[in-house]
Structure 1
Amino acid sequence: MVSISTLVQFLIPVFYLSYYYELNPDLDIQSYRYGYAITSFAVLLGQISFFCGYESVKKSIVFPRIIITESSVSNFFIVLFPLLILIWIGRFVLLSTGTYYFINRTDYQFSSPYYSVVAQLDGYGLIIVGGLFLIAFTEKNRRNFFFNFTIAFTVFLLEILWYGFAGLREPLAKTIIAPIFAYIFIKREIPKKTLAVIVLVGLPLFAILGEYRYTASTFGVSEISPLKTIPVLIEANKRLDSQDVIANLADRFYDGKSLGYLLTHYPHDYDYEFGATYINIPFILIPRFIYTDKPIFTMGLGKWYDLMEYSSMPTTFWGESFINFSWVGIIIIPYIAGLLLKGYDFLFIKRSSKTYWAYLYVFGAVNVMRLPVEPAVIWISFFLKVIVLAFIFTWIHSAFTKVVISR
């Protein structure tokens, strides 16, 4: 998944970059062709090192045939219904504060130390979606399959509507991908036709959402409602021309632009960090509502270069490796990341016959695709959270089962 994400976000043949750099001249790295070349070289070097780290651990990973033992929806919700309630309580908090439409969680979580929990919970709806589709695809009885699939698809549509009205492209994409991953996980085959349809429909839609996502600037917070966003979506579609589509797609899918800028400018403008960006790793284990001065884990390019107004351009995992240890970092840090991911995969696949480990593995597989543009601290934080959740869910279900049996 890391490799697929890297391919999409860094190494795709970005024939449209010339126009994008004309719109954003500060990002023009001498010439966009040079920028793409040096970025591609850095990412390929890091990817090779990542694979070397992953394969250096000799433990072989063989996927067993997945059997979801507690494969009924009722058993599923024994553990995850409380999570579903918490997720939607958090979302109503987002709605009541108007933050849903601004959706800047990094700023939002500082409004109150407890809001960081709400910001985290919002993304856990993906666990529900992935788990329900795993149950559906495991079911061999046609009638039961239809029942389970209907429930899964209903929850899926609710998630799509939630993120769609806010114009959130990344969570929307994750939600759409989750059933695909669940299908691959159970059936061991890729639904090529479905993927082709998603790509053909999804790319233009993402461009429209790029225009639409700033709905909050159209209304006052107290005036915003889902019904009022529909005309804005239609208007966003009318505003788009072919060049806008290209610009929006480049802005969303080509994170190599910020990496390229760091590769060509950072050595001349700053001293190397020599590990300074990794000092936040110990804070992973401390919740923000306990330690309100907990550092921000996201690392935008704006910390060093303010190139685009209102931009959240990421430093990226490869860029962080470079600004710490130059080109040596692009070899060493991805190697370590490969070791970590091999350990993570081994832990989950070894337990994939345990129901909630399977649910969380699909959830993790979807989110891993975002990691190449995140700093190392978010990699480690994510791995730990998913592992802890898997243990907690399994323990809750085991405890509940023992209580039922004892009665």
Structure 2
Amino acid sequence: MNQSTEDTVTVSVGLGERAYDILIGAGLLARAGAEIAARLPGARAAVVTDENVAALHLRPLQEGLGAAGIGSTAITLPPGERSKSFGALEETVDGILGARLERRDFVIALGGGVVGDLAGFAAGIVRRGMNFVQVPTSLLAQVDSSVGGKTGINTGHGKNLIGVFHQPRLVLADTAALGTLPEREFRAGYAEVAKYGLIDRPDFFAWLENNWRDVFSGGTACTEAIARSCRAKAEIVERDERESGERALLNLGHTFGHALEAATGYDSARLVHGEGVAIGMVLAHRFSARVNLASPDDADRVEAHLRAVGLPTRLEHIPGALPDAEALLSYIAQDKKVSRGALTFILTHGIGRSFIAEDVPASEVLAFLRECQTQ
């Protein structure tokens, strides 16, 4: 359940002995040391971050850790999706081992989704599993990637194909950190917020349609949107931690989106993850309408809202040339694996009525992609 104390909202993720809290509110970076020390007394830390986030947030975090008696070392990586790589993983692991951290110590991910996925993967494999704390500084990370224990890196074959499930011990989502985000990054994170409404919370999507400007302005509406998103994800993770069933619903828009990211070479100047998800969610709704699963009006409504907040919604909104439909399909097949000529997608019967479709013919998807590229 959600609890609120002194403007900090707590969302609990109930996973038995591995349960943890998500704290949401302003000023949590400065309080991180005290919150962590209460849960991991006597431990030391490696803080994994990127150059951009370090310039803004590393010092106050480390000062807070020091005030709580937590010694820390920083591992700073280049920003961007290309740091989700074997090379960056090796550098991170070497940094953790070089600091002589023990299994009872912990790794902190300070940054967005890239840092969280990479640092979590490192924490999951060093000494066969170290403690892990997420301190997400982007909206996307606060509502999605920091929650649920998915970690990993990309390869030339596709996105997130190598990784482990490794749950954090604590998530500290400092809403004040969002004020330092470029507007494009905030918008990209908002795509993941909208996703929760489109999966199975039509009332939340309608609330976002009416309140998105207040969410973008920060304050209580932003905190509410983050908390409702985290609660939505936590409930699914509690029921299906390792994606053997309904957790796959969280991939709404991601099968198309991941393929587009791979097709652009993970070039953030052309496309960032949340933008790919935005286009992917529109494509998922349009494909559902094409195969008579949903009304075209629902796809129009999704596209209208995402365009209103400034997100790309079509293939032609991606700068530069894209590969042909056959090449895009090959990326999709790598992301979600072909089984006897059929693909698994998250499709929909309408707003808030998503479902797992396990037998989508690749030929249908190819024809749809060809249509999208000629419109």
Give the structure with the larger strand fraction: 2
Q: Which has the higher contact order (CA 8 A, sep 6+)?
A: 1
What TM-score comes out, normalization by structure 1 length?
0.25
Which is helix-richer, 1 or 2? 1
Taking structure 2 as the reference length, the TM-score comes to 0.26
